[in-house]
Structure 1
Amino acid sequence: MLRIHELKDNIVFHQHDGRWLRTNVVRDYFKAVCKRANLPVLSPHALRHSHAVHLLEAGANIKYVSERLGHASVKITADTYLHVTKKIEDDALALYERYVQK
C-alpha cells in the first residue's frame, strides 16, 4: 500500500495533504488558465495525449510509453497514440533512405 507521500509524488494534481483533486476542480482550473493565456480550451487529458505522442515521436519504446500510461497492453497504446504524425512519417522515411543507401 502506498503512503501519502509516495502517492503524492505520483499525482500531477493533488491537494497539499496528497489527496486527489476532484476531476471537475482540475478541469475548471485548467479551463481558466487556458482562457487567461488566450489558448484554446482543452481538457487536462489533452496533456496526456500530447505527452504520449511526443514520447513516441522522440523515439521512445512503445512498451515504455504503454507502461508509463498504465495501459493493460501495448495494443491499447498503439491504437490510441501511434497514429502516423508527420514527424513519425519523416523519421521512418529517413531511416529507410539510410538503409537502402548502404
Structure 2
Amino acid sequence: MYYKFIVIISIIQFAREDGSPLPKSTLYNTFKAALEHISIDPLPIHSTRHTHAVMLLEAGWSMKAIQERLGHESMQTTADIYAHISENFEQKSMDKFDDFMKSREK
C-alpha cells in the first residue's frame, strides 16, 4: 500500500494516495511495528514530537522557530518544555569555547 505525507504550514498530515486522511490507528500500528522490528520497547508516538524538537534545538533553531513549528500558542509554552535542554546546549557551547580559548593560550 502506498502512503504519502503532506506538509502544510509545519503540520504533517498523513494521507492515502488519493489524499484522504489515514486513520490514527494506521500510524500507531505502523510506529509500533517499526519499534518492534528494531527491538525497541514501546514508546508513545508523541515522543517523536519531542525528539523532533530536541533535534531542532541541536541544529541551532531558535525557540521562536520551534514554537511555530510545533504549533504552540506561545513561545512560553515551548520554553517551559524545552528550556532545560536549551540550557544544556548553551553550557556545552560555552565549555567548547572555553576549551578553544585555553588551547590558544599554549
- Asked whether the two chains share a fold, i.e. TM above 0.5, the reply is yes
Task: Write the deviation string for residues 24-62 of structure 1: whole angstroms up to 9, x where unpaired.
Answer: 221122101110111222222211111101111222111
Compare relative contact order (CA 8 Å, sep 6+) and give the higher one, 1 or 2.
Answer: 2
Secondary structure, aligned partner of 1:84: helix
Query: After the TM superposition, which parts of structure 1 deviate over 6 Å for at least 4 consecutive aligned residues?
Result: none
Task: Write the deviation string for residues 60-97 of structure 1: whole angstroms up to 9, x where unpaired.
Answer: 111111101111110111112232378513124445x4
Counterpart in 1 of 2:72?
71
Q: Give the count of matched residue pairs.
A: 93
Determine which structure has the larger strand proportion and give its number.
Answer: 2
TM (normalized to structure 1)? 0.71
Which residue type is aligned with residue 91 of structure 1?
S
Aligned residues with identical type, % of pairs? 34
Which residue type is aligned with residue 76 of structure 2?
K
In the alignment, structure 1 residue 60 sits paired with structure 2 residue 58: no
Point out where structure 1 has 5 or more consecutive residues left out of the alignment.
Answer: 1-6
Cα RMSD over matched residues? 2.8
TM (normalized to structure 2)? 0.68
Q: Contact (CA 8 Å) 2:67, 2:74: kept in 1 or not?
A: yes
Return the alpha-carbon distance in structure 1 between the equivalents of residues 77 and 41 of structure 2.
Answer: 27
- Give the number of the structure whose alpha-carbon radius of gyration is greater: 2
Return the alpha-carbon distance in structure 1 between the equivalents of residues 72 and 96 of structure 2.
Answer: 30
In the alignment, structure 1 residue 18 sits paired with structure 2 residue 19: yes
Counterpart in 1 of 2:51?
50
